[in-house]
Amino acid sequence: MTATDTTADAAVPPARDPGPGREPLLEIKGLTVDYGEGAGAVHAVDNVDITLHRAETLGLAGESGSGKSTLAHAVTRLLRPPGRITGGQVLYHRRAKDGGPVPPPVDVLAMNPAELRAFRWEEIAIVFQSAMNALNPVHNVAAQIADTLRAHRPGITREQCRERAAHLLTTVGVPAARMKAYPHELSGGMRQRVMIAMALALDPDVLVLDEPTTALDVVVQREVLAELVRLREEFGFAVLFITHDLSLLLEVADRVAIMYAGRLVESAPAQAVYHEPEHPYTRGLVGSFPPLRGPRRELTGIGGSPPDLRSLPPGCAFSPRCGHAFDRCRRDIPLLRVPPAAPERLVACHLDDPDGGSDAT
Amino acid sequence: MTQVRFLFRRIAFYAVTAWAAITMNFLIPRLMPGSPENTVLSRFQGQVSQEQIDAVKAQLGVSDAGILSQYGTYWKDLLSGDLGLSVSYFPGEVSEVIGQGVWWTVVLIGVATAISFVLGTLLGVLAAWKRGSRLDALLPLTTFLSAVPYFWIALVALSVFGVELGLFPLTGGYRPELEVGWSGEFISSALSHSVLPALTIIVSSIAGWLLGMRNMMLTTISEDYVLVAEAKGLRTRRVMLGYAARNALLPNISGFAMSLGFIVSGSIVTETVFSYPGIGFLLYNAVLNNDYPLMQGIFLIITLMVLFANFVVDLCYVVLDPRIRQEA
C-alpha cells in the first residue's frame, strides 16, 4: 500500500473494523467455536470479529492450533464433531441483482440445510491444503467438476459440463486434455490447480484458501501463488488466505489478521504489519523470518511454546511468552482496539493503551 | 491399452494357478494310503475273484500305468468332463452327482451371501454416517449373532420356526414328491425350504460386512475429499454414497469375492443341519463313505470357484479403482 492510500484511509472515520471503507462481503461477528462440551470444552475460536471486503485479500496467520483453520471451517459450516459453533454470526452480503436494491445480509450460521447447500461453492469455495486428499481418487477430474455443476445448475447438459470443465482447466493452466485424468495421475501442483479450477466452477465471490501451498515444494508454491493472484485480478473474488507462513501472506494479502490461541490479536494492512508490527506476538512472527529485500536484520523468533488451549493463563494468552508483559496482562484479557497512532489497524494489547483500565470490564 | 495388458496378465496368472491346483488335485489322492477299489470290494468281505477286482478297477478308472500316463489320462478325462464314478452313489458319475448338487448350493448360499453383503454394507454405511445415533446398537447385536456358533443358531431356528411354529419345512430342498423343474409348485416349495437356511446364514454373517464397512467408512469420512464434497454443496446422499462409501467399498469387495469362492465349501454345516441337497451335503457324505472320486471332484469345483471369484473381483477392481489399472 502506498503512502497516499494510507492517507486516504486515515480520512475515513475509524469504524469498528478499520477496513478501507469498502463494501463488506463476509462479516464474522463474535464467532466462538468449542471443541467438546461442558467444563472440558476448549475455545478454539474465541469471540472473533473479522470482516472480509469485496475483492479484498485478507490473510489469516497464526501458528498451529491458533484456530485459523477452525475459523475457516466454522464460516463454511464444515466443522466436524466434537467441534461446535457456540456463538456469533457470519453475515454474508449478497450482490444486488441487476439494479435492484441490495438484499439484506444473510447469516450463514442460521441457514437450513437446503439453503446451506445452495450457498456453498456458489458463494464461498474452498481450496484445502493437500490436494492429494482433497480430490476423490476414484473419479476423474472432469467428473468432479461436473458433479459440482450438476448440483447447483440442475438441467445442465453433459456437453455443457464438459465444456465448462475444459474451460476452467485451461484457465488455471492445466491442458484441457487432462480432464479425463485421475488425481493419482497428476503432480501435486497440477492437483492444486485442478482444485482451484473446481473452486472457480460457479464463479464464487469468496475463495477460502486453507494453506493452499503448504504441501507443495517452493517452486510449485510460487507458480500456484502467482496463478491465484492472476485469477483474483481476472475474476475479482475476495480471498480469505489462511497460512502459518506470514512472509508469504505479506506478499499477497491486502490486509493481515493475526490469531493467537483462538483470538484475534492484530489486524492491519499487510505493509503496516511488515514494517511496524504493533502486537508483541506479531513482532515476534515478523522477526522470525529473514527479509527478502532491504537491509539485513536480526532474526529473533518467539520464546516458549504454543499455548495449551485447555489451560490458558488468565489475562492475555500471550503474556507468558511476552517480553513486555506487566501485571495487567496477567489479569485482564486485552480487547481489540484502534491504536491512536494507527487508525487503520486493530490491536489487542495493553501496551500503549492510553485509557488505563477502561476496557477491563 | 494398459487395461487390456492388465487383463491378459491376470488371465495368465489364473491359468497358472488353476493348473497348479488341478495338478495337486491329481497328486493328493494318489499319495494317500488306501485305494478306491478296496473300499468297494471291502463290502464283499474278500469273496471276490481277480477278474472281479480288475472289473471294478476298470469301472472306477483305477490304472496301474505310470504316474505320467495317468496324469495325461486325467487331463484328457477332465477336459471331456469325465470325473470318474462316485463310490457312494455308485454307479453314478461324479460330474453328474456334483451337477445335481451344485445348483442348490450356488443358488441358496450365493443368494444368501449376496443379500448379507448388500444389507451389511448398506447398514455399515449408515452406521458410520450416523455414528453416535441409535444405529450403533446394531454393532453389539450383530456381533453377538456372529459370535454364536452357526450350527446352534441353525438348530434354534429350526426348532422355533420349523418344529414349534411349523412355519417352514424341516429338511430337504423341496417336497420330495414333486418333480424337479420350473413348475410354480416346485419353485414355491424350494423357496419355502430355503428361507431358514438363508436366514441363518444372513444373520450369522452380516456382522462381518457391517463392521468392515463401518470402519472403512469412518476412515474415508475423515478424508478431505469428503469434506470438499460437502463444501461443494452436493446432496448428503451423494456425499455419503458417491464419495465416502464409494471409496470405503473396495476392501469389502475383495472380502465378498473371497466369500463367493468359499460358498461351496462353506455350506457344509448349513446343508448338514438342514439336510439340504447341495454340494456341502455331498462332500459330507463323500467323506463319510471314503468316496475319493467325489471328494476330488468337489475339491476341483471349489478350487475353480475360488479362482473364478477372484478373477471377477480383479475385474471389478479395474472398474472401481482407477489406481489399480496402472499397477500390477
Q: Summarize pLDDT for A117-145 with one digit per residue, the tens.
A: 999 999 999 988 776 688 998 999 999 99
All 3 cell numbers of residue A58? 485478507
The tens digit of pLDDT for each residue in B212-259 reads 999 999 999 988 899 999 999 899 899 999 899 999 998 888 888 878
The CATH 1.10.3720.10 portion of chain B extends over 94-313
* Closest chain A C-alpha to B317 CA, distance in angstroms: 11
> In the prediction, which pLDDT does A221 show?
84
Residue A305 lies in a domain: yes
CB A67 within 8 A of CB A3: no
Q: Is the pLDDT of residue B266 over 50?
A: yes
> In the prediction, which pLDDT does A3 show?
41
Q: Is the pLDDT of residue A12 over 60?
A: no
Interface of A with B (CB under 8 A): 76, 78, 80-81, 113, 116-122, 125-126, 128-130, 133-140, 147-148, 151-152, 182, 184-185, 198
> What is the predicted ipTM?
0.81
| pLDDT > 90: percent of chain A | 28
Q: Which of A125, A128, A151 sits opposite B234 (nearest CB)?
A: A151
CB A347 within 8 A of CB A278: yes
The tens digit of pLDDT for each residue in A212-252 reads 887 778 888 888 888 888 999 888 899 999 988 888 888 88
Q: How far apart are the first and last CA of chain A?
A: 36
Mutate to test the interface with B, among A138, A149, A196 (most CBs of B within 10 A): A138
Residue A116 lies in a domain: no
**Strand pairing class (A24-35; A83-92):** antiparallel
Number of domains in chain A: 1
Residue of B113, B105, B152 whose CA lies nearest to B280:
B105
Residue A318 lies in a domain: yes
> In the prediction, which pLDDT does B36 show?
66
| pLDDT > 90: percent of chain B | 20
Q: CA geometry: angle at A92 spanning A88 and A94, to 5°?
A: 160
Closest chain B residue to A143, measured at CA: B242
Closest chain B residue to A139, measured at CA: B322
Residue A261 lies in a domain: yes
**Burial class of B276 by CB neighbour count within 10 A (0 to 12, 13 to 18, 19+):** buried
Enumerate the residues of chain B whose CB falls inside 8 A of the CB of residue A137: 225, 247, 321-323
Q: How confident is the model at residue A21 (pLDDT cuts 50, 70, 90)?
A: low
- What is the per-residue burial (b if ≥16 Cβ within 10 Å, else e) of A107-133? ebbebeeeebbebbbbbbbbbbbbbbb
- What is the per-residue burial (b if ≥16 Cβ within 10 Å, else e) of B290-308? bbbbbbbbbbbbbbbbbbe
- List, in sequence order, every residue forming a beta bridge with A257; answer none if it has no partner: A60, A267
* Closest chain A C-alpha to B131 CA, distance in angstroms: 11
The tens digit of pLDDT for each residue in B269-290 reads 888 888 888 888 888 888 888 7
Q: Give mean pLDDT, residues A93-102.
A: 79
Kindly state the DSSP code that residue B33 receives in the 8-state scheme: S
Residue of A96, A88, A5 whose CA lies nearest to A54:
A96
- Secondary structure of residue A267 in the 3-state scheme: strand
Q: How confident is the model at residue B180 (pLDDT cuts 50, 70, 90)?
A: confident
| Integer Cα distance of A343 and A253 in angstroms | 19
> In the prediction, which pLDDT does A149 show?
92
> In the prediction, which pLDDT does A63 show?
84
> In the prediction, which pLDDT does B61 show?
65
- Give the residue, B24 or A99, on which the prediction is more confident: B24
CATH of the domain at A341: 3.40.50.300
Q: How confident is the model at residue B302 (pLDDT cuts 50, 70, 90)?
A: confident
Single-letter residue type at A322? C
| Integer Cα distance of A127 and B174 in angstroms | 62
pTM over 0.90: no
Q: Which of B234, B320, B323 sits opposite A147 (nearest CB)?
A: B234
Enumerate the residues of chain A whose CB falls inside 8 A of the CB of residue B238: 147, 151
| Integer Cα distance of A55 and A254 in angstroms | 10
**Burial class of B314 by CB neighbour count within 10 A (0 to 12, 13 to 18, 19+):** buried
The count of CB pairs under 8 A between chains A and B is 77
Q: Is the pLDDT of residue A260 over 70?
A: yes
| Integer Cα distance of A66 and A71 in angstroms | 10
Residue A190 lies in a domain: no
The tens digit of pLDDT for each residue in A263-294 reads 999 999 988 888 888 888 988 888 888 776 77
Using the Cα atoms of residue A193, residue A194, residue A195 and residue A198 in order, give the sign of their dihedral: positive
Q: Is the pLDDT of residue A358 over 60?
A: no
Q: Give me the residue label for grid cell 488455471.
A: A172
Residue A286 lies in a domain: yes
Q: How confident is the model at residue A354 (pLDDT cuts 50, 70, 90)?
A: low
Residue A168 lies in a domain: no
Q: Do A137 and B230 touch (CB under 8 A)?
A: no
Interface of B with A (CB under 8 A): 132, 222-225, 227-236, 238, 242-243, 246-247, 320-323, 326
Q: Which of A80, A116, A134 sits opposite B225 (nearest CB)?
A: A134
Q: How confident is the model at residue A355 (pLDDT cuts 50, 70, 90)?
A: low
Q: Do B233 and A151 touch (CB under 8 A)?
A: yes
Q: Give mean pLDDT, residues B6-26.
A: 88
Q: Which of B231, B247, B321 sits opposite A78 (nearest CB)?
A: B231
> In the prediction, which pLDDT does A164 show?
92
Q: Give mean pLDDT, residues A5-31.
A: 59
- What is the per-residue burial (b if ≥16 Cβ within 10 Å, else e) of A144-156? bbbbbbbbbeeee
> In the prediction, which pLDDT does A241 show?
92
3 state SS for A40-85: HCEEEEEEEEEEEECCCEEEEECCCCCCHHHHHHHHCCCCCCCEEE
Q: Give mean pLDDT, residues B65-77.
A: 84
The tens digit of pLDDT for each residue in A306-321 reads 888 888 888 888 888 8
Q: Which of A129, A133, A184 sits opposite B323 (nearest CB)?
A: A184
**Strand pairing class (A57-61; A255-260):** parallel
> In the prediction, which pLDDT does A165 show?
93
> In the prediction, which pLDDT does A314 show?
86
* Residues spanned by the domain of A68: 1-108+206-215+241-361
| Integer Cα distance of B301 and B83 in angstroms | 11
* Closest chain B C-alpha to A235 CA, distance in angstroms: 19
| Integer Cα distance of B181 and A233 in angstroms | 75
Residue A226 lies in a domain: no
**What does pLDDT average to over chain B?**
84
Enumerate the residues of chain B whose CB falls inside 8 A of the CB of residue A151: 232-235, 238
CATH number for B94-313: choose from 3.20.20.70, 2.140.10.10, 1.10.3720.10, 1.20.120.1770: 1.10.3720.10
Residue of A181, A138, A143, A135 whose CA lies nearest to B317:
A138
Phi, psi for residue A266 in degrees, rounded to 5: -155, 145
Q: Is the pLDDT of residue B50 over 70?
A: yes
- Return the top range by mean pLDDT from B128-137, B170-179, B264-273: B128-137
